[in-house]
């Protein structure tokens, strides 16, 4: 649910920027779901301004409480636009991965003692909002690593 909380605190402008970043050929990443909600044909949704579609998409994520889709939205944005942030965290905390894609082997967790230092380093290289969005993903994915969620929560406001 951390990713939903992260989406909730994003400003409309910030969500729009992420939404536009993930658009392809004029379609936003959640436009099919927005079209269904608005009873539009999928092609007709492109006639609406992207800002309106993004606002509807954010509201849809929150109304449906779809943490998995929120996770995918944030993760896709970060891997597309800030892969170095993702791989930087994984490498700094000892998580096995291939180009940002995590190996799901048991025990492939971030080293709890390295999380704070990794985040400090990432804060020096990337926008705080993007680092915080990644921490929401990490907190949801690795709930057993008790140092991640408090660090993410301290940055939410």
If DSSP codes are grouped into helix, strand and coil, which group holds residue 12?
helix
Rounded Cα–Cα distance for residues 17 and 74 (Å): 12
Same domain, 86 and 62: no
Is 11 a domain residue? yes
Instruction: Classify residue 77: in a domain, yes or no.
Output: no
pLDDT in tens, 95-105: 999 999 998 87
pLDDT tens, position by position, 88-130? 999 999 999 999 999 887 889 999 999 999 999 999 999 999 9
Write down how long the chain is: 157
Kindly report the pTM of this predicted structure.
0.92
Give Cα separations from 32 to 68, 76, 102, 111, 117 (angstroms). Answer: 17, 17, 28, 39, 40
Q: Dihedral sign for Cα 144, 5, 85, 148, please.
A: negative
Count of domains forming the chain:
2
Residue 129 lies in a domain: yes
- Looking at the fold, whether 86 and 28 belong to one and the same domain comes out as no
Q: Are residue 103 and residue 130 in the same domain, yes or no?
A: yes
- Say whether both 34 and 88 belong to one domain: no
**58 & 103 share domain:** no
Distance CA 124, CA 101 (A): 23
Supply the range of the domain harboring residue 88: 82-155
Q: What share of the chain is helix, strand, coil (3-state, %, to 5)?
A: 70, 5, 30
In a domain, 76, yes or no: no
């Amino acid at each position: 649910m951390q990713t939903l909380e992260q989406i909730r605190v994003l400003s409309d402008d910030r969500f729009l920027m992420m939404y536009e970043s993930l658009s392809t050929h004029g379609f936003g990443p959640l436009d099919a779901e927005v079209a269904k909600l608005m009873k539009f044909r999928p092609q007709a949704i492109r006639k609406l301004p992207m800002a309106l579609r993004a606002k509807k998409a954010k509201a849809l994520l929150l109304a449906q409480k779809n943490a998995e889709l929120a996770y995918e939205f944030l993760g896709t944005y970060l891997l597309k636009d800030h892969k170095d942030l993702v791989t930087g965290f994984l490498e700094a905390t000892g998580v096995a991965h291939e180009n940002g894609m995590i190996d799901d082997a048991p025990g492939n967790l971030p080293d709890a003692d390295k999380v704070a230092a990794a985040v400090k380093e990432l804060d020096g290289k990337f926008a705080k909002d993007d680092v915080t969005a990644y921490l929401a993903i990490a907190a949801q994915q690795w709930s057993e690593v008790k140092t991640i969620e408090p660090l993410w929560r301290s940055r939410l406001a």
